[in-house]
Amino acid sequence: MALIKSVKGIVPKIGENCFLADNSTITGDVVIGNNCSLWFNAVVRGDVHQIRIGNNVNIQDNAVVHCTYKKASVKIGNNVSIAHSAIIHGCTIHDNVLIGMGAIIMDGVIIESHSIIAAGAVVSKDTLVKSGSVYGGIPAKLIKTVDKDLLEGEINRIANNYNMYASWYD
């Protein structure tokens, strides 16, 4: 069973039909929508500010979602994939977004819908990633735009596959 802990009397709220790996951790002021999955060693730590996660979101192995005390909360939209070992910190991620493996998203970043952040990218503080963009590098910069193949073949495919993967676990 996942480690779910209250902080200052605030208990995380988890939607319906969510898969929480046995060693995932959720603490504090966290609200998770329906059909989400938190994978092995994923941490969603709402101890210093609030975290709001939409529906059909997967937070993969070793990913960390955290905030900055009294300054930067986290808002994650619907149909978002946060890949292995990514760090999501004090930012806003809109709908239909793919965050690549090992990417770091800093405070104040806004990632608009239908976007991809490449594996290993570091998105610097207060960056605005416009809708339909692919960002990569250190610091992350615009690489190209998302076409139909990337939207369906990567963003939507990965988000939907994680619901299937979660269904395999007892």
Asked if the model's pLDDT at residue 14 lies above 90, the reply is yes
Q: Give the pLDDT mean for 161-167.
A: 96
Considering the entire predicted model, what is its pTM?
A: 0.97
Q: Which of 87, 117, 5, 116 is nearest to 20 (CA)?
A: 5
| Sequence ranges of the domains in the chain | 3-167
Q: Cβ distance 79 to 96 under 8 Å?
A: yes
> CA neighbours within 13 Å on the CB side: how many for 146?
25
Asked if the model's pLDDT at residue 170 lies above 90, the reply is no
pLDDT at 104: 98
Q: Give the pLDDT mean for 18-41.
A: 98
pLDDT at 1: 86
CATH architecture of 3-167: 3 Solenoid (2.160)
Largest pairwise CA distance in the chain: 45
Tens-place pLDDT, residues 75-85 = 999 999 999 99
pLDDT at 74: 98
